Structure 1
Amino acid sequence: MNYRLIALDVDGTLLNDDHELTDPTIETIQEVHDQGCHIVLCTGRAPASTLPILEQLGLEGTMITHNGAVTVHADERGQSLVNEFAFDMKDIEPMLAYARREGIHFDVCTAFNMYIERISEYEKQMYKKFLISPKLVTSVSELGVRIVKFTLFAQSEVLDRVQQDWEEQKLYGDLRMIRSGELFIDVMSPEANKGNALKALAATLEIEPQEIVAIGNYYNDLEMMAFAGLGIAVENSPNDVKEAADAVTLSNNDNGVHEAIRKYFF
């Protein structure tokens, strides 16, 4: 099979646990790109914190960000919005009230900006690690903007309780709630996922699903892995993510993306 597009999750997949790209991974991605394969980063990150990864790979092109809620194109002229799935701030007011009451950190995102109401040193270090510079405001409810993602950041056991409470109370209404990482819960439009965004992008590029390889590590990667002709999970994925994949490669700390591309492309 001649694959024409590789969709890559970033954190926990493309990057190691130190949030670094390794030289073998960079070299292999550049080599397969030079042979004409499209490389698409598909991440929960915002465009601003995804672009440095794309630049470190020596590439430009389209990025699927905010877990599929926003697709942007990046080149020497800057970043331009290709597609977004947005919703009204009023749709998350019950969840905002819950997070404020329980003292759980949250942020809300438009396509290109992130807003927070408070921040401690713990959250500062998290944002620094992900190359994010959020804007501090008195109340996100007063911004008067449509948003693409609402995210909670807390310890795993706290988010376990939040998930249970919100599912029992249906606080997220018609929106979609996903666990995008052990320490993160995302709430987005029901249409927003990496699979739908990848499907739309592939259609514009006239690439069939069977010509796509998708590599990921977490539950927010399942839709894109299912859409692709070959869905690959890295070894550090939860067991049910690995079971849903067509194949499993080495972990993100063992150059799993590099190994998968060498195996299936060369």
Structure 2
Amino acid sequence: MNYRLIALDVDGTLLNDDHELTEQTIATIQDVYDQGSHIVLCTGRAPASTLPILQQLGLEGTMITHNGAATVHADERGLELVNEFSFTLQEIAPMLAYVRQEGIHFDVCTSFNMYIERIGEYEKKMYEKFLISPKLVTDVSELGLPIVKFTLFGQPEVLDRVEREWNELKLYGDLRMIRSGDLFIDVMSAKANKGNALKALAADLKVEPSEILAIGNYYNDLEMMEFAGLGIAVDNSPEGVKAAADAVTASNNDEGVHKALVKYCLSY
């Protein structure tokens, strides 16, 4: 099958656990690109922390960021916003009150910037690992900006409790709450997911779903994998993600993206 669009999750999928790209994976992606396929990074990261990965691959093009809430085109002129699904700070007021009272770390993102109210060494190391430079403000509620993502960062047992309580109380209202990793909860527009963003991009590029291959590792990748003609999970994915995939490749630490692309896209 000639897959014209390759959608790749970044952390836990494209990158290994040391947040690195292997030389073999880079070479394989470049080979697939040279065959005429669009390479699209689909990630929970912001554009600024996704761009270095795209550049390391030696590519330009479109990035689906903030778990589908912001689609951005990158080329030599810089970054251009293509589409976003935003909401107001007023809509997350009850959740902001909750995390402030419980002392749970959070940030809020516009398409291009991230804002925080406090930061410790633990949180600083996390942001550095993901190449993020958040802006420190006194009160995010006073920003007066439309935002695309509200993220909680904490230990799994803390976020497990938040998920239970917020689901019981429907504290997120008409917004959408997803677990984007063991240590992260994201709240976004109900329209925002990687599948919807990929669908819009495919329509712009005149690419059929059957011509799309998507590779991911977590529950925030399911809509993207379902929309694609072939949805592949890396072996380090939770069992529920692997069960929903059309195929399973090797883990992110065993160059699963490289192996999947060789198998399904290249004929060496």
TM-score band, normalised by shorter chain: over 0.9
Corresponding residue for residue 62 of structure 1:
62
> Residues 148-227 of structure 1 correspond to what in structure 2 (within 5 A)?
148-227=148-227
Compute the displacement of 1:177 (Å). 0.1
CA distance in 1, matches of 2:2, 2:129: 36
Compute the displacement of 1:233 (Å). 0.0
Compute the displacement of 1:56 (Å). 0.1
- The one-letter code of the counterpart of 2:111 is A
User: Which whole-Å deviations, capped at 9, do the CAs of 1:187-207 have from their partners, x for residues lacking one?
Assistant: 000000000000000000000
CA distance in 2, matches of 1:104, 1:259: 39
Structure 2: gaps of 5 or more residues? none
User: Which whole-Å deviations, capped at 9, do the CAs of 1:34-61 have from their partners, x for residues lacking one?
Assistant: 1101000000000000000000000000
- The one-letter code of the counterpart of 2:217 is N
Compute the displacement of 1:128 (Å). 0.1
Corresponding residue for residue 263 of structure 1:
263
CA distance in 2, matches of 1:42, 1:142: 30
CA distance in 1, matches of 2:82, 2:4: 21
SS of the aligned residue for 1:236 comes to: coil
CA distance in 2, matches of 1:86, 1:32: 33
> Residues 224-263 of structure 1 correspond to what in structure 2 (within 5 A)?
224-263=224-263
Compute the displacement of 1:120 (Å). 0.0
CA distance in 1, matches of 2:7, 2:100: 36
Query: What fraction of aligned residue pairs are identical, expressed as a percent?
Result: 80
Compute the displacement of 1:70 (Å). 0.1
SS of the aligned residue for 2:45 comes to: coil
SS of the aligned residue for 2:64 comes to: strand
The number of residues matched between the two structures is 266
Matched, 1:116 2:116: yes
CA distance in 1, matches of 2:240, 2:117: 35
Corresponding residue for residue 95 of structure 1:
95
Q: Detail structure 1 runs of 4+ shifted over 6 Å in the superposition.
A: none
User: Which whole-Å deviations, capped at 9, do the CAs of 1:64-94 have from their partners, x for residues lacking one?
Assistant: 0000000000000000000000001000000
Matched, 1:128 2:145: no
SS of the aligned residue for 2:111 comes to: coil
TM-score, normalization: structure 2? 0.99
- The one-letter code of the counterpart of 1:244 is A
Corresponding residue for residue 28 of structure 1:
28
User: Which whole-Å deviations, capped at 9, do the CAs of 1:133-154 have from their partners, x for residues lacking one?
Assistant: 0000000001111100000000
CA distance in 2, matches of 1:20, 1:256: 13
SS of the aligned residue for 1:39 comes to: strand
SS of the aligned residue for 1:55 comes to: helix
CA distance in 1, matches of 2:231, 2:260: 11
CA distance in 2, matches of 1:265, 1:152: 37
SS of the aligned residue for 1:32 comes to: helix
**Cα RMSD, aligned residues only:** 0.3
SS of the aligned residue for 2:132 comes to: coil
CA distance in 1, matches of 2:59, 2:249: 24
User: Which whole-Å deviations, capped at 9, do the CAs of 1:216-264 have from their partners, x for residues lacking one?
Assistant: 0000000000000000000000001000000000000000000000000
Compute the displacement of 1:2 (Å). 1.2
CA distance in 2, matches of 1:3, 1:110: 32
CA distance in 2, matches of 1:44, 1:265: 25
Structure 1: gaps of 5 or more residues? none
Corresponding residue for residue 107 of structure 2:
107
